[in-house]
Amino acid sequence: MNELAPILSVEDLTVDFLSDGAPARAVDGVSFEVRRGETLVILGESGSGKSVSTSAVMDLIDRPPGDIVRGRISFDGARIDGLQGEARRVINGRRIAMIFQDPLAYLNPVYTVGRQICEIFESHGVASGRAARERAMDLLKRVGIPEPEARIDQYPHQFSGGQRQRVMIAMAIALQPDLLIADEPTTALDVSVQAQILDLLRDLQGETGMALILITHDLEVAASMADRVIVMNRGTIVEAGEARKVFTKPRHAYTQKLISALPHGDAAESSNRRSTTNSGETVLRVENLTKEYVVSSGLFGRKKSFLAVKDVSFEVSKGETLGIVGESGSGKSSVARMLLRLNEPTAGKAIFNGEDVFAMEERGLRAYRRKVQMVFQDPYGSMNPRMTVRAIIAEPWSIHADILPRARWRDRVAELLELVGLKPEHADRYPHQFSGGQRQRIAIARALASEPELVICDEAVSALDVSIQAQIIDLLADLRTRLGLSYIFITHDLPIVRHFADRILVMKQGVVVEEGPTSTIFGNPSQAYTRSLLDATPVPKWLETA
């Protein structure tokens, strides 16, 4: 076996997606290869064509609307594009395996985890019955699931997000594939869990010598894993090469922009995103906010309760940005939902401009919901897919009839689109026709439409790649200066808020563990938990080995 020959090579792959009129090119002339034991990272923002490229390798593109215009895909010396039926099944799963971003969506909820792993062995005729179960047990042990003897008979919903991703990895490596494709495997996970999953992938690769293609939008993940990197933008490869070179001496302008946009990169240091106009006038004051969920186990089971949020208090002044940082389950989103009265609090007070939010009746609440807007994590999910961008942005005006007369809607939509850096002619399109960053801009335009005083951003940039994150944060900072807004910026990613927030609240398991000015939190954190959040950021691979 020649170690240097590439296990997979893709040459001049071009994929279109057909729609009315001209086809849209998703991938244009992409070529790459990966060798055994090597990690290739495909880096790019959503819509850059990175997932489409690897879907073509696995023949997962629906045609139509997909259309493979040209390209050669060779695996282990033989062409595999165009393979169908049995010949395809021999390769998919057995020799090339894939793991996805959202393991819950890919695990069947009605079968136990063990059953689903055994099925892989059985469907490929490798082992069955007791033998398959034993191998499944070994796999679970290998991927670091504690007490595999007990967990093997549990269902996917009984596992945590990180553990589900481990189960997915166990299924992917079950047949010892030559190539593992990981499509954003850690995007949905917290930073500390992300580090564990990346370690696991690295260890497995060291043991089995498989090739790994990692698709990600996260520069830090890319840097910590890659031997070689290809950077994609708008369907083409803009830069390719050895990871160290690409990251330290980027040649293409797009890569340079990406690298400099890193939260602790140079551009971020010099940019002035923090607010300058802090008047000290309090907009929102929250006191002892508490949310208790009651969970009953079974019909006559004892009722258990757990505190999602416990005694959270803070203040937001006019023109100020408050960052709330915490991992999933820390209660930070519950705080946001309660502040918008989407969920009712168990106890506590929130005073907005002198009025008690939780005591508001319908009329007062409607006025309040005009002054306070929310930008959600998933801009796609938060927009009705059947409405055009124009209708989406105009919705606040049709809800609150007194903001703007209908005759002016058209012009104002155009103005708002320009304000967030989009074009007025985008108004007649539907949300699915935009990239992730563009959708988040639309969501921001909608939030600004009702001329709010306070905008709550719940993980508003977490799903975007760093350069887009930087753009969106710059946009928010600019709008704050121009319109005098206040923000509550909720995120699990501490570095993002470093140059944006004025004060930071660190939450863990529903409790505020640390609160203070941003410089103190970063420069001199008093709590061990805050330090661990700061340390969980992945370290570049070339620095680790050096």
Partner 1 sequence: MTAITNAASASDPAGRARTFFNCLKRDRLALAAAIFLVILAIATLAGPLLIGDMAAKLGLRQRNLPPFSLDHGWLYFLGADTLGRPILARLVVGAQNTLGIALAAVVTSMLVGGVLGLVAGYSERWYSQVIQRLADIIMSFPSLLLALIVLYTLGPSISNLIIVLALTRIPIYLRTTRAEVLELRERMFVSAAKSMGARPLRIVLRHIAPMALPTLLTIAAIDFATVILAESSLSFLGLGIQPPEFTWGAMVANGRGYLATAWWISFWPGLAILLTTLSLNLLSSWARTMADPQQRWRLQSLRKASR
The smaller minimum CB distance to partner 1, of residues 360 and 534, is found at 360
Enumerate the H helices of 389-465 as residue ranges. Answer: 389-399, 409-419, 436-449
User: What phi, psi does 361 have (nearest 5°)?
Assistant: -90, 180
For residue 104, the minimal CB distance to partner 1 (Å) is 15
Tokens 């950021």 -> residue: 537
The smaller minimum CB distance to partner 1, of residues 171 and 427, is found at 427
Instruction: Give the integer Cα–Cα distance in Å for 327 and 329.
Output: 6
For residue 436, the minimal CB distance to partner 1 (Å) is 7
For residue 328, the minimal CB distance to partner 1 (Å) is 16
Instruction: Give the integer Cα–Cα distance in Å for 53 and 196.
Output: 27
In this structure, are strands 503-508 and 511-517 parallel, antiparallel, or unpaired?
antiparallel
Q: What angle do CA 534, 537, 542 make, to 5 degrees?
A: 135
DSSP-based three-state secondary structure for 203: helix
The smaller minimum CB distance to partner 1, of residues 282 and 435, is found at 435
CA of 307: how far to CAs of 323, 326, 337, 347, 524, in Å? Answer: 22, 16, 15, 11, 29
- Contact at 8 Å (CB) between 457 and 321? no
For residue 454, the minimal CB distance to partner 1 (Å) is 12
The smaller minimum CB distance to partner 1, of residues 385 and 523, is found at 385
The smaller minimum CB distance to partner 1, of residues 124 and 371, is found at 371
The smaller minimum CB distance to partner 1, of residues 258 and 449, is found at 449
For residue 363, the minimal CB distance to partner 1 (Å) is 10
For residue 337, the minimal CB distance to partner 1 (Å) is 8
The smaller minimum CB distance to partner 1, of residues 318 and 446, is found at 446
The smaller minimum CB distance to partner 1, of residues 46 and 205, is found at 46
**Rama region for 37: left / alpha / beta (φ>0; ψ in -120 to 50; rest):** left
For residue 370, the minimal CB distance to partner 1 (Å) is 6
Q: Is 545 exposed, middle or buried (0-12, 13-18, 19+ CB in 10 A)?
A: exposed
**What secondary structure letter does DSSP report for 428?**
G
The smaller minimum CB distance to partner 1, of residues 122 and 378, is found at 378
* Two structure tokens written together for 457: 């951003």
User: What phi, psi does 78 have (nearest 5°)?
Assistant: -120, 150
The smaller minimum CB distance to partner 1, of residues 25 and 88, is found at 25
Other Cβ atoms less than 10 A from the Cβ of 522: the count is 18
CA of 355: how far to CAs of 348, 350, 351, 371, 452, in Å? Answer: 14, 8, 5, 12, 16
For residue 262, the minimal CB distance to partner 1 (Å) is 24
The smaller minimum CB distance to partner 1, of residues 26 and 325, is found at 26
For residue 406, the minimal CB distance to partner 1 (Å) is 15
Q: Let me know how long the chain is.
A: 546
Site for partner 1, rule CB under 8 A? 14, 16-26, 46-47, 52, 64-65, 67, 69-70, 234-235, 337, 340, 342, 365-370, 373-374, 376, 378, 381-386, 395-396, 398-400, 425-426, 428-430, 432-436, 446, 450
For residue 154, the minimal CB distance to partner 1 (Å) is 25
Instruction: Give the integer Cα–Cα distance in Å for 123 and 491.
Output: 42
For residue 354, give the nearest of 346, 364, 342 by alpha carbon: 364
Cβ neighbors of 316 (< 8 A, separation 6 or more) are: 282, 283, 284, 285, 322, 454, 486, 488
User: What phi, psi does 235 have (nearest 5°)?
Assistant: 85, -5
User: What phi, psi does 403 have (nearest 5°)?
Assistant: -70, -50
Tokens 């967990």 -> residue: 151
For residue 30, the minimal CB distance to partner 1 (Å) is 15
